[in-house]
Amino acid sequence: MKVLVTGATGGLGRVVLPRLRADGFAVRATSRRPRTGAEAEWTVVDLATGAGLAEAVTGVEAVLHLASLPGGGRRTHQVDVLGTRRLAVAAGRAGVGHLLHVSIVGVDRVPFPYYRHKLAAERVIAEGLVPWSVLRATQFHPFLDRLLTMSGRLGPVIGDRALLVQPVDPGEVAARLSARLSAGPLGDIEEYGGPQVLRFDEAAYAWRAARGSRRPLLPVRLPGRLGRALRAGGLTTAATVTGSRTWADHLAATYGGTDRR
């Protein structure tokens, strides 16, 4: 089966391409910049304008839609909502049989501006211009890692200690996406998370220990609806099929026993 992957250069895209090839898919991949490489047949697409879309979707049986512009402003709307519509329209015209879209656990519960656009993109997909499926994933291990690094930039690691996270290995998300492509369009929204729900402070202490850091954790209490949603587990899922690689596995593989203060 030939699959077009949008957002193929992103954190998830980079692990999706080898997974799909190993599973026997022929892969065409998009980027806004011209690229070459044996990992896929590359094609230039800009979802913000629609440039390159018609050519990209021609001759593929499925589209795996990973491209996104995190943020929450007008540019996110242009790429995530209007760009997803442009993609669905082009794929519908080309007779694509399955549009598999990647979203985020909590887009329907957590009031981040970015999530409003992700939810709107899901709704575009579910209009059914192309037979569809949605996989909502929880935060990827490297994303939580970067977030902790950023929140610790000023010295202490700043965060709401009671916020709940369920980080997942992007390689396991890639494997799930590959299985969902093989299963075909089910017209459903599946949630997929990591094996453990952790409080932010548990995740942060483990991260600190893995890095050999003594930075203090500066607890803040996120106010309002956002804080309540995050503490109530808005970013976690009760879905029973989960990844098996833990946050501790990620930390051991990334930092080993070395001191990276």
Ligand X SMILES: NC(=O)c1ccc[n+]([C@@H]2O[C@H](COP(=O)([O-])OP(=O)(O)OC[C@H]3O[C@@H](n4cnc5c(N)ncnc54)[C@H](OP(=O)(O)O)[C@@H]3O)[C@@H](O)[C@H]2O)c1
State which of positions 2-21 bind ligand X (CB under 6 A): 6-7, 9-13
Least Cβ distance, residue 143 to ligand X (angstroms): 3
Calpha distance 29→63 (Å, rounded): 10
Q: For the purposes of burial, counting CB atoms within 10 Å of the CB of 257, is it exposed (0-12), middle (13-18) or buried (19 or more)?
A: exposed
Least Cβ distance, residue 175 to ligand X (angstroms): 15
Out of 1, 23, 26, 32, which residue is the one contacting ligand X (CB under 6 A)?
32
**67 interacts with ligand X by CB under 6 A:** yes
Calpha distance 109→248 (Å, rounded): 27
Out of 27, 62, 66, 124, which residue is the one contacting ligand X (CB under 6 A)?
66
**130 interacts with ligand X by CB under 6 A:** no
Q: Binding mask 148-177 vs ligand X (x if CB under 6 A, - otherwise)?
A: ------------------------------
**Chain positions contacting ligand X, by CB under 6 A:** 6-7, 9-13, 31-33, 45-48, 66-70, 79, 102, 104, 118, 137, 139-140, 143
